[in-house]
Amino acid sequence: ETGVTQSPTHLIKTRGQQVTLRCSSQSGHNTVSWYQQALGQGPQFIFQYYREEENGRGNFPPRFSGLQFPNYSSELNVNALELDDSALYLCASSRNPSGTTDTQYFGPGTRLTVL
């Protein structure tokens, strides 16, 4: 059983640019959640995708958007990058979001630096 993978590992962008981060979910999982972790803080929930639709969102502006594909992989897109977007972006996959304990398994993360 393959785990959650993310790409790229590291990324450097400049303010105002756009970025796309990718996540492949663990085999058998149909739900992907994205988190942002600023330096020295715990991860903060961005949004979750289930069956290719957004299934919940945290307190993040609309310039954070996502997609989920039929194979359950997912993308996180951030437009108009700001310096404060510099963080570790984490993807977590799980089996079913409804009526279960839905344990989430995390990928290694993508380190984004905005200059």
Partner 1 sequence: DAKTTQPPSMDCAEGRAANLPCNHSTISGNEYVYWYRQIHSQGPQYIIHGLKNNETNEMASLIITEDRKSSTLILPHATLRDTAVYYCIVRGLSSSGSARQLTFGSGTQLTVLP
Contact footprint for partner 1 (CB under 8 A): 4, 33, 35, 41-45, 47-48, 50, 55-58, 88, 90, 92, 96-109, 111
Q: At closest approach, how far in Å is the CB of 16 from partner 1?
A: 26
Closer residue to partner 1, CB minimum distance, 16 or 28: 28
Closer residue to partner 1, CB minimum distance, 12 or 80: 12
Tokens of 35: 């988190």
Q: At closest approach, how far in Å is the CB of 96 from partner 1?
A: 8
Tokens of 112: 């984004």
- Opening angle at CA 63, ends 61 and 65, nearest 5: 100
Closer residue to partner 1, CB minimum distance, 71 or 100: 100
Q: At closest approach, how far in Å is the CB of 45 from partner 1?
A: 4
Tokens of 66: 């996502």
DSSP letter for each residue of 20-34: EEEEEPPTT--EEEE
d(CA 89, CA 91): 7
